[in-house]
Every structure is written in C-alpha cells, then in structure tokens.
Amino acid sequence: MIAMKTSDAQSIRYIALLHTSNHPQPGVALANQRQYIDAYALHRNMTKVGEVINTYTASQSSPSSALSSLAGRKQSQNDFDAIIAADWSPLTKAGANHFYAQNFELEKLGVQLLDCSDDGPISSLRHAVRFQAQQMYSLVCSERSRAGRYCGIENGTMLHVSHMPFATDKLYSDAIGAPLYIVHRESDGSESLLHPLSRVVIRRVERKADTKWCGFRKHPGDRVTLVPGDSNDVAVVRRVFDAKFALGQSAGQIAKSFNAAGHRDMHGRIWNPNAIQRMLSQTAYIGIGVSVRRSESYYSAVQGDHRVLSPSAPRDQLILVDFPQLRGAFVAEALHGTIWNWQMRQWFRKTGSSLPYEKMLSLLNRNV
C-alpha cells in the first residue's frame, strides 16, 4: 500500500473494496467502510468508478480472488487506477508475503492499493509487522473458535454439521433433557417449529429476504440432536440405501431410476449422481455424526487464490456424535457395519485418512 499525497491523486480513478463475511445481512459494516473510503477519496479529489463487495467465510476460498477479478477487469477495461479499502486484513491472513505477492502483480498493471486508514508515508517494515500481527490474530481467533465448537458439540448444544442431512430434523431440549420443539426445514428455506410428540406446527419462521438463512435462533443452553424428518423423505433415503446395498446399484443408476419414476429432490429438481453419493456417504443415517475431519483457516498456506487444507485432524481431536433416534430409522441395523465400512473406504480414498474404529464400535454397541 502506498500513501498518496493530494497532488498525486488528482483525477485518480478508484474502486472501493468492501469486505463482509455475511453479504446478505451486512448491517452497518459496509456502510461504515463506504463512508471512510468516500471521505478519503473526496479529500484527495479522486473519482469513484465503482465498488466491489468481497464476501468471505472460513469455508470459502481465499478472499484474494476479489483482487484477481479486479486484475482481470484492469486488463480488459482499464477503467480504474487504484483500489481503496478500509480494512486489508481479510487479504493478509497468510502474512506479509501473501499481500506483497498480490500487490506486486497489481502494480505491474498500474494499479495502486490504498488504505484509507493510513495518511502519509508508511515504511515496508510497518506493513510487514501489521500483516504478521493480523496473521497471528487470525490464528488465535481460529483456535478459540475451534475449541468452542468442540465444546458445543461434545455438550450437545450445537450440531456437528452446518447443513442438515436430507430427511432429518432438529430436536431441541432443555438442559435436563425435556423435549421442547422440533425444527423442520421447508423446501423454500423457511422453518417450521413442531410439537416434539405430535409434530403439529406451532409456528413458522419465514426466510429472511435475500438470504438462505431463516430468523430462528435457539435459546442459550438448549440442547439439539437429529431426529428423523418427514416420512416421505425418510422413505427416499431408505430406497437409496436399499438400491445401493441390497441391489448393488451405482449412484448414477439410482439417480436415473428416481428421475424415471418422477421423483424430485427437496428443492424440486431432478436427482443427480453427486447428490446420491453424498447421501450414501452421510454417516448420520446410521446414527453417527463425525466432526472435525478436516479444518481450514485464513492462516493456512496459500497457493494462488486458494488456501491449502491443513492436514486431517489427529484421531484424538475427532468427535463422534451418537444420534440414537436415527439408528434404524433409515437403514436396518444389521447393515450398519457394512455401510460404515463402505463409508470409511470412501473417506480413506478421498483423504488418505481413517477414523478411530474402536470409538465407532462403542457407539454402535455391536460387532462389525
């Protein structure tokens, strides 16, 4: 980042780069960034030609992809001379080298990166120290977040997955285990709160505008587990596993037969082999949830625009969660061992890792 004097910034065309980790519900974060950037540019008589909102989460590729797209725009349109941001930390979580590599490529195209929080010359040493501090901050936050997630999963206050397996619902209970309600995700993204015994709809929570997330939030201390969902959806899962392990059909054959019979997935789309394969690989259908198979974060190594996945977590960091109400609901318990072995072979082929067999056996409470 190069701080520019007022005289150097005359007629400079710029693009405002805004960062958010939750673009559909940005709140005041984007407004504040936009205000700081516009004030910085107005004071230096710079001309705004557009803005880019860079959305990033821990599970997505590196936010540096935003700069890559802007580099392509510079080469094709050549309609700006500088990029201004109020916060460059999302692009520096891999340290100073990460940022300097991006800065070097953009400077070759005639693009300057400006920080509206800096005024006056800044030494490279100051930049390096700040970027390394941001990298360490990311590391600390990631470790604390992971520790909190471990604790929540082991205590039963959060699920091991962020996306619900097909044909399952969430059962919430209080601290002593008394069931409170069931949350069922509808095909349009809204959620229905059901009575835990009769499954009568108590109320419906509509999806918020411009986002896939609904407005429902559980109360602190409530426990959550997975239970079988709609009976029609459960029947679909049963047919998938029967076709695979009883009839020996492949994922492609199963999807083809489903579509020929007029069946559609929960979103009303035709079935595809990848969706069938993901369903067959879901261990929750035999009553086991596997958490922390792999982890990634901003401080991981970077190759191009993508972070490198850190190695598979050690066995003592893997968490296996028991879902007793799912056991036998989708697949006959006699087949659990066969299905688990197949799922673990798929996992090993994909990652080169394996899972603790002994702990799995204690959860299944049977010999495989």
Summarize pLDDT for 202-217 with one digit per residue, the tens.
988 877 665 555 667 7
Transcribe 122-182 into DSSP letters. Answer: --HHHHHHHHHHHHHHHHHHHHHHHHHHHHHHHHTSS-S-SSPPTTEEEEEE-TT--EEEE
Summarize pLDDT for 289-315 with one digit per residue, the tens.
887 644 444 444 444 444 444 444 555
Percent of the chain past pLDDT 70, that is, above it, reads 71
3-state secondary structure at position 334: helix
- Alpha carbon separation from 3 to 128, 134, 221 (Å, rounded): 15, 20, 49
Nearest to 296 by CA among 59, 112, 64: 59
- Alpha carbon dihedral 294, 300, 305, 306, in 10-degree steps, equals -10
For 155, residues 6+ apart whose C-beta sits below 8 A from its C-beta are: 223
Distance CA 209, CA 213 (A): 9
Residue carrying the six token digits 């899972």: 355
Distance CA 13, CA 18 (A): 16
Alpha carbon 264 to its chain centroid, in Å, reads 26
Domains in the chain, CATH or no CATH each: 6-144 (3.40.50.1390), 157-364 (3.90.1750)
- pTM value surpassing 0.75: no
Q: Which residue has the higher pLDDT, 332 or 142?
A: 332
